């Protein structure tokens, strides 16, 4: 029941907001999200399958028995973590927009709460259609958040965001439906239960079919991640979105794509993944380097951080494609870490924007002397993002790359990437330092430059509320940087499950090559 | 259906009737597409209906089956109803524009 | 299997699990964690001071106390130390296991690995750290209440990271320290963050270091994929298992040392990655002394010493190190000769001296390198601190042409004379510590066989002469001669009225004296007896190095130990045995080197004295003459412009990347987003516009299209049926 | 045979209602004239109740008895669907026709003249058309099918013409009528050929002949194929499917919004049902039966063309009704997927989709019917900009109905589309489904404008003069539709069950009936 509660609480909050006067909206939203966080923590404490790969929070309500569709919820450790990340970011997002949003409050907080429901739904879904519905539904609140509360080019940005991701996910839907149908043909009854379909697809489909399904699913998830070259909606959406929108977009919504990869693509179509991993790996690497260089020449801070997401998520994808526990561990950690650190960066940029109404590094800079606390956090999260050891970014980046590097054929999990992939991607570490330090060097350091005019009645430096938003994220960064172990042990089982068909799939693929004389 | 029937109505007769029907239909369509007078256009649709009627009767005769002819009665009835409707419409249109030219009605496009 | 797979050496799947290492796990020594903990505590307290806007010297006191505590702990650790090494587990970091086999776990914890090498380093790091903190407490006075806490917090971070680097028991924690010191360096170089030059220098330092870090990261990946572990003790065990290990073949073992080398070159400012170090002088002088002279920059030496076994597997890597070191030493010395900013001269001299150390590593004398690190730490810190004192006193004046005769000024005697001691040591004046440590390296260049090592040796000797020259150029210009000065352009408290130099007070002077004494006393360990193996030369430092993976680079150490089973052949050839020991002027190279380097040093010194004390005008005349001769003018000009290395990097790496970034951005916006995405999105509208005439308005035109469409479909179907394209269905 | 009249009780009810409306419409009493929508409403409700009474297990025996139809239980689903959408449409119509004339009477400027009023016949036509739609579902032979389709269409021609006193309405009526007559001729000719090929008008008998012929010769013969193709193409006009869709934009734009709402659903539903029935003659509802390839290819091409042309056509439009017309064309394309997917899942999907589309379509037009600029209708889509500032409820209704038409979860439209897609995939037409998916994404482009302008846009000077109509019927319809769009997914399972019952073929229904008899009489 906790799982349903997690989804229902924000929904109830949204309804309550719709029914109450607009000055109460913030408060209700905060209470609802805090309640959600509380429930999530309770659920995490209650969850007994940390580390084992088992499922908790299970709930099943048949919706459409004829089609085997049901409101099936459940969480393994990875879902649990991402759900915790979501519920953590939600109250922060609401606190972070406390003063930034002054117009159409009820809709704003209502949409945020609906977004929360949908995001949690994605992570908890145990039914393919529930997953798909929530996955799609995240678009709506985000669309409105951008289209109503965005900056100048918001209409175009929101439209592009919506249609781009919608088109991608329709392909994914086609793929899902094909799997469901094939399963129905095979089993004699329709089912959309994820375990059934995953099991069936990985064993019952030919490599050719798997390849098509991989393409279809990737059309949906790659856009969401976003993987080069289908990333161009992201910078636009990020630049135009309000702060909380950017935070949730970077913090959670992008993870829906990698989560989809983790939950569906990898276990469903192992043979195709083995076949396509090098190609996707190359795309990820191009994304890492290409986006990093683009970051380097940005003048708009928010765009810079947006492109950095493209670059960072490339590591995440690479880790997944490593097809070994190291890479997957790194990748799952990356999802969480990127949510914390990039989320925080967007918060910080939002705080700056609220004060100066500019994001242009040409007109603003040297805030270190005027906003020391803000600058401290800025530098801190930039370092977390750069991957300074001791902070969270390092652990995940390191494991992703080590996994990719090791995916050359040693150990129990032979992969299909290898050292050259890792070496090329590792260049991204240097580039990350280049563009992020450039940003810090411009907006934090140097002599003070600020646009004239007062735009806000906030104090010059951060106030207690804003610090309160950042501190949990900072604590998260440090804890996950110094003690990633507990997370890694917690997700071991789920990762092993996801990888269950891999050693064989890779070996089979290589054996076929050997048979063809493709082996050097 | 009986042998008698097919003796009385040879395959050639059927073919002739169907050819006639096809010709009527073609003429109707061609007229419909080429004439701009609303009344003539309507008459062309009537011509098409007649084509159907001819075919129906011919097939009914061929199969010695009355349903073809029954259908014809219904078609005639409906055609009459349509004629009433059409003429009312034409009057309405003529009142508005004082012309029967169909080409003047091009306000709704693209 | 893709070709990529074949790059990884084949491993027998039945490879035995990692044998128990010979290092002792000593949880009862966990108090050694204090060395890491104390700087962290100090960091937190300094952070609190900053948050509470403390205006006293409290942060300095806290930091000095904690560093002193760390130093004392290190000394205790040394006293408690028993060979061959101890692992002290502190805290778990990453422990992944997904199977039973060798390549099915990844472990990297916060554990300390104590052997004599790490002890050597940690003692001088914490010791010097304490002294320099005391010095800085006075030096940073003008910033009291402003950046004072931030400064000492940065020092604490640095000491923590450096301790982690030195004491780590695995490569990953080393990496943590490695990046940590880079970050601390970023922090402290950028201390005056309102100065664009400082920010740029800080960024440059971090990024260039990151390139090195990239090498280290890749090396770690390679080491793990090859050996299945990144922990020193397990690696030692694998090496101890001898040459039969299949891991020791294939490209990986050859690549590892080169990647490590890249890391070391980045951190220790060697060619081609040295460019950040001179710029790093934008930081406060204590930082330059601590980080950019004495401790952090020696991390590269430490790394190579720590992983020396990998280098012994691949002789070419050692040759490369030797040559890079030698060339860096020469190049930096030539640049140093042409600079006027005394701090920059010291910076280039640091690069140059680091080059010597790498030369030492390359010619198989880890002991010499380590010893030079040790002595250099004292005298270079001393020199920087004296420069800092001058800078502090003369409002940021660092131009050696604008200050003269310091030793005659009131209150500056201690500075002048301690600087002399530092200069002597740096110049390798006989019987100073620098003399012995440099000799240990130079001589070995003639002993060890290698490609052109003899040339390298002579080159290094020539560089030693240059070193003596430019060192004393500074001293004779600044400290000797007639007393005169021009103040720098820094704002000082006493504006209005004439400028008065602030002579250093107690804290600075005390530290200077202590370091001067240290510079002299650092010669003593050379003569201390060897406890570990009395066949060794090199005294206490050799002892310290002996109990470490770097022992392969101790001259005279020919004990056939299992560790060196693989390296033996190479080592034997290199050291070529006592019998075939090469000679220099008929003498043992070590003995000969005393004379040669002493002479060269004195010659350099005299040259400097002539040009910069007795006939200063002659120096200017020579310089003018050099610049006037077109055939040679490029030389001093290139030396002054640092051999155009910065410009080279800018043109070859930075600018192309920058342009590429812009091209990508344009490509992204206009090609991918504009043409592809928006273009595809425009297709439906375009098609619709193209089809719009179908909807022409008149009822006939609609009827034509409708009837025509229906007719086309009918015709097509009829055709299909006619040609039987529908199989037997029709 | 006469006992089959039993199944026509709902249609009789509607017929009686229609006649009553026509009579009551010329009453001198304003109250009586005003009560016409209520009469229509009550008629529909009674028809609904009658249908659930008529299609009961007890009458199953009659259904499978002599004179059986291919889908004997179809009326059981179609009538409720028609009633639900019909009720919503009645609300949309309420208060609209004869408004100015009634206003004059109320103001005492005019006296009541039965010749000038058209309210009575308007509601009569409305109900007659619905009656035709219901009759379509029950058609056992071609004659009936023809008459039912004509009964559906003919009243709509009049409704378009009298919907508003505007040149465009008359132009629309003209085009609609003439092109409609052309299409009727086409499918009638097709019927004639079918008759010629089989010698019978009854669908079941026709099927038997064709199946036997296919078993003999391997195909149903070119005459029958040609007849089917012509019938399909002619019926495509009712469905507004390519290439006979071209009239739709003009007609939808010309008619008043209230009538457009009607046109968007009723003929389309009639066309879809007629297609299902006419295709049954190929015998594809039998075990192992499939469509002959030419038919399948034609339907396939029509589906792709219809959804694509509809969607890309809508992209260019600035006038909202025209845009919705194109959107309704694209929905015909989606419906064709269900038809192609065939008996069973495909037909179920078509029926559910018809309901979803009908409600969503009605909701959008209900919103448009609630708005006016002066005395005119809302024309440009930009007129909706900033609608929420004055009329938030209507803006939200517009957004939600657009979302449903787009097929966005969790609204009803999504489930309809999902069922269509599933049916498409399950029948092996994955490519068609992918094309439909791409089309959905294209349609997002213009549907989002319908969401974005009212909700996120700022009111312009043009849109500022938009006001709400005085009468509340359309608003009520919008509210009811939106509620249905949100809540009906909860009943999806029962909707699917009902639909599945509705599309049981004769043999399947016979089996069901026999098993029920077995249950009742406890037979083995």
Q: What confidence tens digit (pLDDT) does each residue in C346-398 have?
A: 888 899 999 989 988 888 878 888 888 888 888 888 888 888 888 888 877 78
Query: Considering CB atoms only, which of D220, D244, D442 is closest to C710?
Result: D244
Q: Which of A397-411, C698-712, D316-330 is predicted with the least confidence, judged by mean pLDDT?
A: A397-411
Residue D480 tokens, joined: 């009811």
Contact C697 B36 (CB under 8 A): no
Cβ pair D297:C728 closer than 8 A = no
Secondary structure (DSSP) of C432-449: SHHHHHHHHHHHHHHHS-
Q: Which residue in the set C705, C709, C727 is minimally distant from D293, CB to CB?
A: C727
Chain C residues touching A437 at Cβ < 8 A: 186, 203, 206-207
Domains contained in chain B, number? 1
| C99·A410 Cβ contact <8 A | no
Q: Are C613 and C481 in contact (CB under 8 A)?
A: yes
Same domain, C578 and C715: no
- What average pLDDT does the structure give for chain D? 90
> Which of A50, B32, B38, D269 lies closest to C701, judged by CA?
B32
Residue that wins the pLDDT comparison between C66 and C401:
C66
From B73, A382, D334, select the one nearest C202 (Cα to Cα): A382
C624 and C706 share one domain: no
Mean pLDDT within A111-131: 93
What per-residue confidence (pLDDT) applies to C534? 54
Same domain assignment for residues C703 and C651: yes
Nearest Cβ partner of D174 from C688, C699, C729? C699
> Do C474 and C596 belong together in one domain?
yes
What confidence tier does C559 reach under pLDDT thresholds 50, 70, 90?
very low
Contacts with C647 (C-beta within 8 Å, 6 or more apart), sequence order = C641
Q: Does B36 touch chain C (CB under 8 A)?
A: yes
> Where in the sequence is the domain holding B65, given as residue range(s)?
10-100
Mean pLDDT, residues A177-183 taken together: 91
What pLDDT was estimated at residue C718?
85
Q: pLDDT band for position C565 (50/70/90)?
A: very low
Indicate if the pLDDT at residue D327 is higher than 80.
yes
Q: Which of A115-119, A440-444, A457-461 has the lowest mean pLDDT?
A: A457-461
Distance from CA of B61 to the nearest CA of D (A): 10
Higher pLDDT, C258 or C592: C258
- Closest-CA distance, C716 to chain B, in angstroms, reads 19
**Best mutation target, B29, B71, B97, B102, to test chain D (most D CBs within 10 A):** B71
What count of CB pairs under 8 Å joins A to C? 187
pLDDT average, residue stretch A154-165: 90
Asked if C676's CB is within 8 angstroms of A326's CB, the reply is no
CB contact under 8 A, C194 and A416: no
Q: Is the Cβ of B92 closer than 8 Å to some Cβ of chain C?
A: no
Of the pLDDT bands very low, low, confident and very high (cuts 50, 70, 90), residue C8 is very low
| Mean pLDDT (chain A, rounded) | 89
List the single residue in A with minimal CA-CA distance to C657.
A293
Tell me: pLDDT of C242 over 70. Answer: no
- State yes or no: pLDDT of B54 exceeds 60: yes
Nearest chain C Cα distance for residue B33, angstroms: 5
Range of the domain at D117: 2-521
Counting CB pairs under 8 A, whether chains A and C reach 3 or more, is yes
Distance from CA of B7 to the nearest CA of D (A): 17
- C318 and C418 both lie in a single domain: yes
Q: Specify if B64 maps to a domain.
A: yes
ipTM of the complex: 0.88
Structure confidence by residue, pLDDT tens digits, B79-92: 999 999 999 999 98
| Range A436-457 burial, b when 16+ CB lie within 10 A, else e | bbbbbbbbbbbeeebeeeeeee
- D183 Ramachandran zone, left/alpha/beta (phi>0; psi -120 to 50): alpha
Q: What is the pLDDT of residue A398?
A: 92
Q: Can you tell me the distance from the alpha carbon of B43 to that of A135, in angstroms, rounded to the nearest whole number?
A: 57
pLDDT at residue C13, as a whole number:
32
Q: Which of A401, A430, A446 lies at the smallest CB-CB distance from C210?
A: A430
What is the per-residue DSSP string for B19-58?
HHHHHHHHHHHHHHHH--BHHHHHHHHHHHHHHHHHHHHH
pLDDT digits (tens, 9 = 90+) for D372-396: 888 788 888 888 888 888 888 999 9
Burial class (CB in 10 A: 0-12, 13-18, 19+), C628: exposed
What is the pLDDT at residue A512? 65
Domain hosting A38: range is 2-516
**Is the model more confident about D342 or about A513?**
D342
Same-domain status, C334 and C368: yes
What is the pLDDT confidence band of residue D147, given thresholds at 50, 70 and 90? very high
Please write the tens of the pLDDT for every residue from C263-302: 999 888 888 888 888 888 888 888 888 888 888 888 888 9
Please check whether residue B44 lies inside any domain of the structure.
yes
Greater pLDDT, B11 or D42: D42
CA distance A425 to chain D (A): 34
Average pLDDT, chain C: 80
Domain limit, last residue, from C633, C662, C681: C633
Taking CA–CA distances from C706, the nearest residue in chain B reads B33
Chosen for mutation from D195, D230, D316, D325 (greatest number of chain B CBs closer than 10 Å) is D195
Listing DSSP states for A160-194 in one string gives HHHHHHHHHHHHHHHHHHHHHHHHHHHHSS---BH
Residue A332 clears pLDDT 90, i.e. is over it? yes
Cβ contact, residue pair B105, C696, below 8 Å: no
Band the pLDDT of A478: cuts 50, 70, 90: very high
Count of CB pairs separated by less than 8 Å, C with D: 99
Q: Which residues of B touch D201 (CB under 8 A)?
A: 67-68, 71
Q: Is the pLDDT of residue D514 over 50?
A: yes
- Whether C599 shows a pLDDT value over 90: the answer reads no
Instruction: For residue range A28-47, list pLDDT tens digits in order.
Output: 999 999 999 999 999 988 88
| Chain B residues within an 8 Å CB radius of C696 | 106, 109
Decide if A413 and C665 are in contact by the 8 Å CB cutoff.
no
Residues of D in contact with B72 (CB under 8 A): none
Cα–Cα dist A151/A139, whole Å: 18
Chain D positions touching A163 (Cβ under 8 A) are 441, 444-445, 448
Residue partners of D233: CB distance under 8 A and separation at least 6: C710, C713, C714, D183, D186, D187, D190, D244, D298
Q: What residue numbers bound the domain in which C401 lies?
A: 314-490+567-633
| Chain A residue numbers touching D423 (CB-CB < 8 A) | none
Residue C490 confidence class, pLDDT cut points 50, 70, 90: low
Query: Which chain D residues touch C if contact means CB-CB below 8 Å?
Result: 174-175, 178-179, 182-183, 186, 218-222, 225-226, 229-230, 233, 237, 242-244, 246-247, 249-250, 292-294, 297-298, 301-302, 309, 311-313, 315-316, 442, 445
What is the share, in percent, of chain C residues with pLDDT greater than 90?
Answer: 10
Residue of B nearest to C691 (CA): B110
Which D residues 258-277 touch A at CB under 8 Å? none
In angstroms, rounded to a whole number, what is the distance separating the alpha carbons of residues A342 and A85?
13
Cα separation, A8 vs C153, whole angstroms: 47
pLDDT digits (tens, 9 = 90+) for D426-469: 898 999 999 999 999 999 999 999 998 888 888 887 777 888 88
Q: pLDDT at position C106, please? A: 87
Is C420 contained in some domain? yes
Rounded to two decimals, what is the model's pTM?
Answer: 0.90
Which pairs count as long-range contacts for D52-57, CB under 8 Å and 24+ apart, including other chains?
D52/D76, D52/D80, D53/D9, D54/D6, D54/D7, D54/D9, D54/D10, D55/D7, D57/D513, D57/D516
The percent of residues in chain D predicted with pLDDT above 90, rounded, is 58
Tell me: pLDDT of D218 over 60: yes
Averaged pLDDT for residues D493-506? 86
Instruction: Write down the pLDDT at residue C147.
Output: 83
> Radius of gyration of chain D from Cα atoms?
22
Residue A516 has pLDDT above 60, yes or no: no
pLDDT 10s digits, A230-280: 998 999 999 999 999 999 999 999 999 999 999 999 999 998 998 899 999
pLDDT at C579: 40
Asked if residue C468 has pLDDT above 60, the reply is: yes
**Per-residue confidence band for C555, with pLDDT thresholds at 50, 70 and 90:** low
pLDDT of residue D194: 93
Query: Is C492's pLDDT higher than 60?
Result: no
pLDDT higher than threshold 50 for residue A131: yes
Q: Do C709 and D226 touch (CB under 8 A)?
A: no
Domain count, chain D: 1
Is chain A touching chain D, with at least 3 CB–CB pairs below 8 Å?
A: yes
Of C658, D212, D408, D37, nearest to A293 by C-alpha is: C658
* Predicted pLDDT of residue A335: 93
Identity of the residue in A398, A401, A510 whose CB atom sits nearest the CB atom of C1: A510
Which of D406, D430, D435, D437 is most worth mutating to test chain A (most A CB atoms within 10 A of its CB)? D437
Query: How far is Cα C727 from Cα D493, in angstroms, rounded to an integer?
Result: 40
Give which of D315, D400, D405, D418 to mutate to test A binding, by max A Cβ within 10 Å: D418
Q: How many residues does chain B have?
A: 110
Tokens representing residue A297 in the block: 């020449």
pLDDT at position C2 = 36
Three-state DSSP class for residue D44: helix
The CATH number of the domain where B38 resides is what?
Answer: 1.10.287.3510
Residues C432 and C344 both lie in one domain? yes
User: Cβ contact (<8 Å) for A133 and D448?
Assistant: no
Mean pLDDT to the nearest integer, D44-59: 89
Say yes or no to pLDDT of C494 above 90. Answer: no
How many structural domains comprise chain C?
Answer: 2
Q: Any contact of B with D, at least 3 CB pairs below 8 A?
A: yes
Average pLDDT of C451-455? 82
What pLDDT does A110 receive?
Answer: 92
For C710, the closest of D178, D233, D294 (CB atoms) is D233
Distance from CA of D387 to the nearest CA of C (A): 26
Residue B74 pLDDT: 94
* Pairs of CB atoms within 8 A across B/D: 122
* pLDDT at residue D486 tops 80: yes
Q: What is the pLDDT of residue C585?
A: 66
Residue C14 has pLDDT above 80, yes or no: no
């Amino acid at each position: 029941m906790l799982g349903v509660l997690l989804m229902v609480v924000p929904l109830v909050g949204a309804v309550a907001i719709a029914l109450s006067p607009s000055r109460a909206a913030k408060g209700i939203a905060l209470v609802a999200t805090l309640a959600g966080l509380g429930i999530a923590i309770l659920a995490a404490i209650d969850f007994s399958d940390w580390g084992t790969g088992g499922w908790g929070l299970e709930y099943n309500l048949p919706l459409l028995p004829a089609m085997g569709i049901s409101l099936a919820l459940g969480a393994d450790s990875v879902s649990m973590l991402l759900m915790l990340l979501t519920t953590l970011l939600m109250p922060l997002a609401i606190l972070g927009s406390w003063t930034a949003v002054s117009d159409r409050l009820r809709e704003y907080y209502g949409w945020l709460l609906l977004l929360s429901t949908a995001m949690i739904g994605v992570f908890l879904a145990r039914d393919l259609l529930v997953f798909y519905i929530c996955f799609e539904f995240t678009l709506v609140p985000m669309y409105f958040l951008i289209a109503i509360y965005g900056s100048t080019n918001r209409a175009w940005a929101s439209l592009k965001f919506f249609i781009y991701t919608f088109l991608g996910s329709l392909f994914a839907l086609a793929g899902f439906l094909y799997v469901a149908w094939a399963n129905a043909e095979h089993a004699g009854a329709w089912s959309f239960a994820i375990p059934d379909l995953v099991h069936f697809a990985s064993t019952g489909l030919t490599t050719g079919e798997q390849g098509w399904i991989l393409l279809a699913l990737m059309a949906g998830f790659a856009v969401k991640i976003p993987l080069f070259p289908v990333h161009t909606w992201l910078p636009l959406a990020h630049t135009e979105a309000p702060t909380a929108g950017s935070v949730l977009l970077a913090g959670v919504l992008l993870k829906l794509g990698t989560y989809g990869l983790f939950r569906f693509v990898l276990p469903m179509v192992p043979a195709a993944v083995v076949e396509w991993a090098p190609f996707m790996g190359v795309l990820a690497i191009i994304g890492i380097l290409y986006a990093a260089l683009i970051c380097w020449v940005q003048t708009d801070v928010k765009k810079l951080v947006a492109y950095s997401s493209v670059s960072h998520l490339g590591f995440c994808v690479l880790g997944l494609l490593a097809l070994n526990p190291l890479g997957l561990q790194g990748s799952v950690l990356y999802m969480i870490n990127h949510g914390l650190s990039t989320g925080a960066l967007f918060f910080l940029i939002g705080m700056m924007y609220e004060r100066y109404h500019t994001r242009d590094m040409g007109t603003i800079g040297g805030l270190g002397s005027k906003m020391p606390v803000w600058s401290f956090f800025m530098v801190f999260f930039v370092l977390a993002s750069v991957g300074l050891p001791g902070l969270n970014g390092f652990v995940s980046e390191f494991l992703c790359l080590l996994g990719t590097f090791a995916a050359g054929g040693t150990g129990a999990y032979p992969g299909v990437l290898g050292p050259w992939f890792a070496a090329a991607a590792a260049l991204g570490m240097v580039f990350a330092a280049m563009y992020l330090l450039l940003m810090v060097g411009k907006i934090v350091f140097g002599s003070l430059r600020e646009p004239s005019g007062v735009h806000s009645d906030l104090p010059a430096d951060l106030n207690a509320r804003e610090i309160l938003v950042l501190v949990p994220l900072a604590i998260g960064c440090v804890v996950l940087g110094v003690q990633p172990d507990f997370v890694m042990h917690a997700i071991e089982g789920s990762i092993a499950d996801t990888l269950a068909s891999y050693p064989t799939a890779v070996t089979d693929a290589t054996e076929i090559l050997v048979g063809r004389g493709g082996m050097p | 259906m009986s042998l008698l029937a097919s003796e009385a109505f040879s395959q050639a007769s059927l073919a002739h009737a169907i050819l006639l029907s096809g010709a009527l239909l073609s003429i109707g369509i061609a007229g419909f597409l080429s004439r701009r007078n609303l009344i003539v256009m309507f008459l062309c649709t009537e011509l098409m209906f007649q084509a159907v009627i001819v075919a129906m009767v011919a097939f009914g005769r061929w199969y010695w089956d009355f349903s073809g002819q029954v259908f014809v009665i219904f078609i005639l009835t409906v055609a009459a109803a349509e004629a009433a409707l059409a003429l009312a419409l034409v009057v309405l249109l003529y009142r508005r524009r004082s012309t029967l030219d169909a080409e003047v009605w091009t306000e709704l496009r693209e | 299997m893709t070709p990529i797979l074949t790059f990884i050496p084949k491993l027998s799947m039945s490879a035995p699990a990692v044998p128990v290492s010979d290092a002792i796990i000593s949880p009862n020594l966990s108090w050694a964690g204090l060395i890491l903990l104390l700087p962290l505590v100090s960091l937190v307290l300094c952070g609190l001071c900053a948050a509470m806007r403390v205006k006293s010297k409290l942060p300095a006191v806290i930091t000095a106390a904690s560093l002193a505590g760390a130093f004392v702990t290190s000394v205790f650790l040394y006293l408690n130390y028993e060979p061959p090494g101890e692992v002290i587990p502190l805290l778990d970091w990453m422990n992944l296991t997904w199977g039973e086999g060798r390549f099915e776990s990844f472990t990297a914890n916060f554990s300390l690995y104590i052997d004599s090498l790490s002890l050597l380093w940690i003692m001088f790091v914490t010791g010097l750290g304490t002294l320099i903190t005391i010095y800085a407490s006075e030096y940073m006075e003008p910033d009291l209440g402003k950046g004072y806490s931030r400064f000492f917090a940065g020092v604490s971070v640095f000491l923590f990271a450096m301790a982690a680097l030195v004491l780590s028991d695995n490569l990953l924690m080393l990496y943590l320290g490695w990046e940590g010191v880079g970050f601390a360096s970023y922090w402290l170089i950028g201390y005056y963050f309102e100065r664009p030059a400082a920010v740029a220098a800080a960024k440059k330092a971090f990024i260039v270091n990151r390139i090195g870090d990239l090498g280290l990261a890749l090396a770690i990946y390679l080491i793990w994929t090859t050996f299945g572990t990144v922990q020193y003790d397990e690696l030692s065990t694998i090496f101890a298992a001898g040459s039969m290990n299949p891991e020791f073949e294939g490209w990986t073992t050859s690549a590892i040392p080169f990647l490590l080398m890249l890391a070391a070159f980045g951190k220790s400012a060697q060619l081609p990655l040295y460019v950040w170090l001179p710029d790093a002088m934008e930081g406060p002088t204590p930082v330059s002394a601590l980080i950019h002279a004495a401790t952090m920059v020696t991390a590269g030496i430490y790394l190579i010493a720590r992983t020396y076994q990998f280098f012994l597997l691949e002789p070419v890597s050692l040759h490369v190190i030797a040559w890079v070191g030698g060339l860096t030493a020469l190049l930096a010395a030539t640049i140093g000769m042409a600079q006027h900013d005394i701090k920059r001269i010291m910076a280039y001299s640091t690069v140059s001296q680091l080059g010597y150390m790498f030369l030492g590593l390359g010619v198989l004398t880890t002991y010499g390198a380590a010893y030079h690190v040790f002595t250099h730490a004292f005298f270079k810190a001393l020199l920087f601190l004296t420069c800092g004192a001058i800078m502090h006193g003369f409002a940021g004046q660092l131009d050696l042409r604008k200050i003269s005769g310091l030793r005659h000024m009131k209150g500056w005697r201690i500075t002048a004379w301690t600087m002399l001691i530092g200069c002597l040591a740096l110049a390798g004046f006989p019987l100073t510590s620098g003399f012995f440590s440099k000799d240990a390296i130079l001589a070995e260049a003639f002993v060890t066989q290698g490609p052109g090592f003899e040339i390298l040796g002579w080159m290094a000797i020539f560089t030693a002469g240059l070193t003596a020259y430019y060192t004393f150029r500074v001293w004779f210009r600044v400290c000797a001669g007639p007393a005169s000065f021009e103040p720098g352009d820094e704002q000082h408290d006493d504006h209005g009225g004439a400028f008065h130099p602030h002579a250093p007070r107690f804290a600075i002077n005390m530290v200077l004296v202590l370091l001067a004494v240290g510079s002299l006393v650092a010669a003593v360990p050379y003569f201390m007896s060897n406890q570990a193996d009395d066949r060794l030369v090199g005294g206490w430092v050799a002892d310290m190095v002996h109990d470490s993976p770097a022992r392969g680079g101790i001259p005279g150490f020919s004990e056939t130990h299992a560790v060196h089973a693989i390296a033996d052949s190479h080592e034997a050839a290199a050291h070529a045995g006592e019998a075939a020991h090469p000679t220099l002027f008929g003498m043992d190279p070590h003995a000969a080197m005393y004379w040669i380097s002493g002479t060269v040093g004195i010659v350099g010194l005299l040259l400097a004295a002539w040009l910069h004390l007795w006939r200063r005008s002659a120096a200017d005349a020579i310089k003018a003459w050099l610049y006037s001769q077109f055939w040679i003018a490029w030389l001093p000009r290139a030396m002054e412009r640092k051999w155009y290395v910065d410009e080279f990097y800018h043109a070859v790496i930075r600018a192309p990347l920058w342009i590429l970034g812009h091209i990508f951005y344009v490509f992204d916006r206009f090609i991918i987003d504009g043409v592809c995405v928006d273009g595809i999105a425009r297709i439906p509208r375009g098609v619709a516009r193209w089809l719009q005439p179908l909807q022409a308005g008149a009822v006939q035109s609609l009827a034509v299209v409708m009837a025509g469409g229906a007719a086309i479909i009918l015709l097509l179907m009829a055709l299909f049926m006619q040609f039987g394209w529908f199989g037997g269905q029709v | 045979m006469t006992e089959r009249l039993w199944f026509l009780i709902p249609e009789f009810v509607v017929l009686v209602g229609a006649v009553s409306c026509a009579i009551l419409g010329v009453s001198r009493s304003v109250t009586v004239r005003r009560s016409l929508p209520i009469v229509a409403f009550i008629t529909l409700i009674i028809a609904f109740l009658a249908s659930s009474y008529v299609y009961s297990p007890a009458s199953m025996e009659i259904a499978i008895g002599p004179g059986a139809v291919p889908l004997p239980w179809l009326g059981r689903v179609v009538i409720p669907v028609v009633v639900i959408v019909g009720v919503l449409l009645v609300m949309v119509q309420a208060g609209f026709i004869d408004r100015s004339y009634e206003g004059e009477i109320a103001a005492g400027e005019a006296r009541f003249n039965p010749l000038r009023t058209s309210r009575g016949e308007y509601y009569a036509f409305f109900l007659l058309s619905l009656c035709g739609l219901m009759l379509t579902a029950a058609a056992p032979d071609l004659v009936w099918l023809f008459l039912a389709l004509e009964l559906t269409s003919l009243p709509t021609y009049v409704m378009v013409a009298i919907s508003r006193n505007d040149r465009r309405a008359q132009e629309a009526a003209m085009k609609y009528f003439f092109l409609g007559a052309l299409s009727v001729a086409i499918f009638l000719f097709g019927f004639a050929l079918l008759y010629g090929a089989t010698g019978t008008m009854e669908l079941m008998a026709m099927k038997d002949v064709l199946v036997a012929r296919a078993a003999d010769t391997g195909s149903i013969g070119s005459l029958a194929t040609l007849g089917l193709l012509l019938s399909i193409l002619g019926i495509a006009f009712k469905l507004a499917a390519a290439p006979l869709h071209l009239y739709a934009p003009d007609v939808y734009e010309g008619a008043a919004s209230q009538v457009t709402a009607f046109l968007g659903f009723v003929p389309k539903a009639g066309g879809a049902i007629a297609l299902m029935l006419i295709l049954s003659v190929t015998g594809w509802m039998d075990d192992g039966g499939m469509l002959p390839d030419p038919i399948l290819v034609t339907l396939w091409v029509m589906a792709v063309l219809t959804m694509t042309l509809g969607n890309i056509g809508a992209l260019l439009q600035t006038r909202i009704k025209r845009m919705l017309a194109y959107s309704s064309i694209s929905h015909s394309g989606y419906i064709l997927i269900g038809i192609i997917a065939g008996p069973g899942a495909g037909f179920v999907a078509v029926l559910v989709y018809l309901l979803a589309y009908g409600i969503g379509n009605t909701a959008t037009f209900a919103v448009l019917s609630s708005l006016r600029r002066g005395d005119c209708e809302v024309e440009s889509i930009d007129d909706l900009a900033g609608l929420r500032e004055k009329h938030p409820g209507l803006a939200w209704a517009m957004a939600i109905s657009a979302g449903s038409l787009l097929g966005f979860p969790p609204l009803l439209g999504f489930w309809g589309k999902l069922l269509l897609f599933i049916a498409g995939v399950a029948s092996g037409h994955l490519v068609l489904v992918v094309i439909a998916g791409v089309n959905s994404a294209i349609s997002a482009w213009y549907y989002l404008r319908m969401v974005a302008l009212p909700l996120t846009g700022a009111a312009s000077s043009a849109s500022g003069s938009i006001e709400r109509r005085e009468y509340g019927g359309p608003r009520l319809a919008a509210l009811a539709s939106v509620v249905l769009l949100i809540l009906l997914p909860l009943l999806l399972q029962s909707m699917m069950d009902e639909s599945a019952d509705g599309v049981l073929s004769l043999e399947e229904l016979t089996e069901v009936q026999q098993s029920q008899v077995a249950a009742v009489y406890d037979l083995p």
